[in-house]
Amino acid sequence: MNFIDVLHETYTALAANKVRSGLTIVGIVIGIGSVIAMVSIGEGAKVQIQASIEGLGSNLLTILPGVVQPGRGIVSSGRGAAQTLDNEDNEIIQTIDGVAAVAPEVSRRF
């Protein structure tokens, strides 16, 4: 059986099962389209997130009060306790080399 015979047999099988062949082709096209759409959505989200992070600036740092639990890498916000940063902390942060400005913020949750 040479290559021409294989092509003839393939064509005969496809022609005999037109509905099956058509549905298979439609399934493959839908699958490829879905993969392309998901990759495009993921890349678009990645670009938007990077743009919003770059908009903040690479030299911005937010410091929140809390307690670091050694060995676990977890920061507890001290629920139930009144942990805050005060003006003394603000002044200490201003004395650190490389700090251009400090902007204290007051926020409350009710």
pLDDT digits (tens, 9 = 90+) for 96-109: 988 888 888 877 76
Q: What does the mean pLDDT of the chain come to?
A: 83
Q: Residue 22 has which token pair?
A: 């058509």
Q: Nearest-CA neighbor of 64 among 12, 106, 17?
A: 106
How is the chain split into domains, by residue range? 3-56, 61-110
User: In b/e form, how buried is each residue of 43-57, taking b as 16+ CB within 10 angstroms?
Assistant: eeeeeeeeeeeeeee
Residues forming a β-bridge with 74: 69
Residues forming a β-bridge with 75: 68
Q: How much is the pLDDT for 4?
A: 92
- The structure's pTM equals 0.47
